A and B are shown apart, each in its own frame.
Chain A
Amino acid sequence: MNLKKSLIIAFVISAIAIIAWELFWRSQDYSPTIDDNKALWSVQRDRVTDLTPNNVILMGSSRTLFDIQLDNWENETGKRPIQLANVGSSPLPIFHDIVENTNYTGTAIVGVAPGLFFSTTFPKAEPWAWPQSRVDHYKARTYAQRINHQLSLPLQQSLALMSAGEQELDDNIDLKALLKRITFGNRIPEGMPPFYEFGEITSLDRNLQMMEKTVKDTAFANTIIEVWKFFGRVSPPPDKEATMAFFLKDVEKFKARGGNLILIRCPSSGGVRAGENQAFPRKDYWDQLVLQANVKAYHFEDYEQLKNLKCPEWSHLSVNDARFFTNELAKIMISDNAITNLKTN
């Protein structure tokens, strides 16, 4: 048996195949991206331990991720915030974790996307289970997992083929995702429309920006809109009572120890906004929440410069609009003394 020959053949063919695979996907407009996974989130969560009262933590759903640009916030306020928001999820488990498991007394900005914020407190429901799994991972992560994450980052930043994401989106190019695209027959009813990646992480501290394709390619933006429509059809009714009670309990505890909580309502437009106005009327949800939480709160509709911002896929801002929104929001909060301007010049 000539194993040496086999090893050399295997090495050469593997190298050629992997290079060809990488080049092919790059020719299809794929580029290296960082996966916004639980390991990346946990690194940010870990930073909370050492924060001072001057710091700002961002929590919420994808709108908080897309719409608050960390560089712009830092430029306006002099302090870079910690981004702990998560796509498709309720901020309640994350805020609960910060309140219960840290001594943090700085500013906590919680984004309120009504469909997710008021959705549920049921542990197995996706909007709750997803962020909670990140909290659980942070608490239980092993040293080996931390090393794996650090080792994987250079690969993610260099190779387009490293696309396996925790969200398992339909345009991932790992083997599982490629096989998922093969369908035939109609044995089960059609489920969710294909959901593609429309944002990208641009820094290791989880700054997320909308991809240019989402802004320029209307057909692509429409595929995302179809997904929002699907969620609008299948989402269970909100559980306002339970979510408010759960959140307000944490709010009291956070305020009692000197924490500064701020609520924000980021823009939505088109059908999503119409749906939200119908299912979550402002006076019954947002206004009630702000009244009972008794904290500073900022709704985009209340500001002339923000109320007409348009979201390309009805729910999140383009990079340019997100930068504008971040700058304006920070200015409004500073002028309102909701946060401190730490800029030295």
Chain B
Amino acid sequence: MLFNSLSFVVFLVIVLVLYYSKLFNWTNKKRMLLLASYVFYGLWNPPLVILLWISTVVDWTAGKRLALEDNPQKRKLWLLLSMFVNLGFLAFFKYGDFLLENFVSVVNSMGVDFQAMPMDIILPMGISFYTFQTMSYTIDMYNRKIEPAKTFLDFALYVTFFPQLVAGPIVRAKDLITQFYEEKRATYNQFVWGIFLLTIGVFQKIVLADTLLSGVADDVFGSSKLLHGVDAWTGTLAFSGQIFFDFAGYSTCAIGIALMLGIILPDNFRYPYASLGFSDLWGRWHISLSTWLRDYLYIPLGGNRYGITRMYVALMLTMLLGGLWHGAAWTFMVWGGLHGTYLILEKLQKRYVPFKITKWNGIFLAFITFSCVNITWVFFRAREFDTAWNMIKSMFYMQPGGEKILDSFNIVKVCAVIGILFMCHWIMRNTSMREVSLKTTPWVLGVFWAILFFLIVIAQGSGEQFIYFQF
């Protein structure tokens, strides 16, 4: 079920009515939320709910055993069981075809004539999100960083909580499970703020991502021709905005919906396109994933504890695997590799050519960071390397002889939207929407809210999927 769909509106109203009715006690409300979450997921593909159940039962059992067990060997085995099941699901469902294709290529390159039947495996929606979330529980249990969930119901709801089930934020057990222990009710202000966040999120998705930007990005990246530089840059900027609005829109909806239930989810984006460098970027973009990768991959790989070279290797490996997390294709690895390279270069710059960031050079630095990020999006969006290379050639050599496929209005439209996006991020980078709203008069906020809602209505989204569902 999509947040930007009519069925979700009906679903949410029913859930809220049941949640705030006096029919149920807190335990039964949690049961209702769990059932609703399975319905939310099952309305997409019912049999795949079984994967959620398996993940839940395996990690609940592993977590329970890890809490009781003192034998280090047995503890390791329980952790491995959890990792094997969750990473096994990912390997089979997400990377099965990719692994098979690459195996065939390697075998063929060795002169062996082998062709495999494509497995055509269906990718369960949000599998990368919920497997990472549930793995964090068992890893934290193994490291004795958290207490086990009090009941199976609390744990199952943690794995399946519908607002963030299919596209995050990836929430840690200590931040979410504990919220289920006591009855939660949103205050009046929290509830209304939740509706406002839901409006903002849907606006980002339907109006900004789908209506204003997706068409240009699709046209440019769908073209097999060598494009004019202006078209290539416009298409890349359009995708840059589209993926931000799409994904941040989903996270904002998720946070808003949870808030309407009185549950607090962490921020997932903090105005990333005004980042001052790449360390700053990864502290602002998909924060729940970057902190997950930091805590469960980068630090176990050594982090900065074993010298500079090892740190750079750990950083690069983390970013490469982070790229692969997004999709089973080499283009995603290149995307991750570019970000790894940026981070290493930034660390080298800070070590050998340090300079102070002022308000004068800050916006320039933010612009440079944003431009470099745009280059990585080319590899993220292009389905094939040929398309990506054509785009890069057009962007850097400008290709005045390249094909023009965008009309002037579309170029102006994309540049205006992205220009406003960049300036908004720059202005907001040290504050939050909540803080700004506190300083805004109710009239201005109300009119702004009405404009967003009106534009959502007249944009009439066709219920397109969020991009991150495929990850």
Chain B residues with CB below 8 A from A151, complex form: 6-7, 10
Q: How far is the CA of A13 from the CA of B463 in the complex (A)?
A: 25
Q: Which DSSP category, helix, strand, loop or mixed, fits chain B's interface?
A: helix
Residues on A lying within 8 angstroms of B by beta carbon are 1-14, 17-18, 21, 142-145, 147-148, 151-152, 155, 161-164, 166, 173-176, 178-179, 182-185, 187-188
Chain A residues with CB below 8 A from B42, complex form: 143
Q: How far is the CA of A151 from the CA of B11 in the complex (A)?
A: 12
Q: Nearest Cβ distance between residue A176 and chain B, in whole angstroms?
A: 5
Say yes or no: is B446 at the interface (Cβ < 8 Å to chain A): yes
Say yes or no: is B70 at the interface (Cβ < 8 Å to chain A): no
Is B188's CB under 8 angstroms from A4's CB? yes
Chain A residues with CB below 8 A from B193, complex form: 3
Is A148's CB under 8 angstroms from B192's CB? no
What is the chain B residue whose CB lies nearest that of A8? B446
Chain B residues with CB below 8 A from A5, complex form: 442-443, 446
Q: Nearest Cβ distance between residue A4 and chain B, in whole angstroms?
A: 7
A9's partner among B6, B7, B408, B443 (CB-CB below 8 A) is B443
Q: How far is the CA of A148 from the CA of B461 in the complex (A)?
A: 12
What is the chain A residue whose CB lies nearest that of B444? A6
Q: Nearest Cβ distance between residue A218 and chain B, in whole angstroms?
A: 30
Q: Which DSSP category, helix, strand, loop or mixed, fits chain A's interface?
A: helix
Is A152's CB under 8 angstroms from B6's CB? yes
Chain A residues with CB below 8 A from B45, complex form: 142
28 A–B contacts from the bound complex (CB under 8 Å) = A1-B438, A2-B442, A3-B193, A3-B445, A9-B446, A9-B447, A10-B450, A10-B453, A13-B446, A13-B450, A14-B454, A17-B450, A18-B454, A144-B5, A144-B7, A144-B8, A144-B43, A147-B7, A151-B10, A164-B460, A166-B462, A174-B459, A175-B207, A175-B458, A175-B460, A176-B211, A176-B459, A185-B407
The residue among A1, A8, A21, A145 with the most chain B CB atoms within 10 A of its own CB is: A1
Q: Nearest Cβ distance between residue B66 and chain A, in whole angstroms?
A: 36
Interface residues of B in 418-446 (CB under 8 A from A): 437-438, 442-443, 445-446
Contact status of A174 and B460, CB under 8 A, knowing A144-B7, A151-B7: yes
Sample of 4 more A-B contacts, CB < 8 Å, known A161-B458, A188-B404, A188-B407: A5-B446, A147-B6, A151-B7, A185-B408
Say yes or no: is B405 at the interface (Cβ < 8 Å to chain A): yes
Chain A residues with CB below 8 A from B411, complex form: 187
Contact status of A3 and B192, CB under 8 A, knowing A17-B450, A142-B44, A151-B10: yes
Chain B residues with CB below 8 A from A2, complex form: 442
A1's partner among B437, B455, B459 (CB-CB below 8 A) is B437
Say yes or no: is B1 at the interface (Cβ < 8 Å to chain A): yes
Contact status of A9 and B450, CB under 8 A, knowing A142-B44, A147-B43, A175-B211: yes
Q: How far is the CA of A194 from the CA of B207 in the complex (A)?
A: 24
Chain A residues with CB below 8 A from B463, complex form: 145, 148
Interface residues of B in 36-84 (CB under 8 A from A): 42-46
Say yes or no: is B215 at the interface (Cβ < 8 Å to chain A): yes
B457's partner among A3, A13, A18, A145 (CB-CB below 8 A) is A18
Chain B residues with CB below 8 A from A4, complex form: 188, 192
Chain B residues with CB below 8 A from A185, complex form: 407-409
Say yes or no: is B311 at the interface (Cβ < 8 Å to chain A): no
Contact status of A144 and B44, CB under 8 A, knowing A175-B207, A188-B407: yes
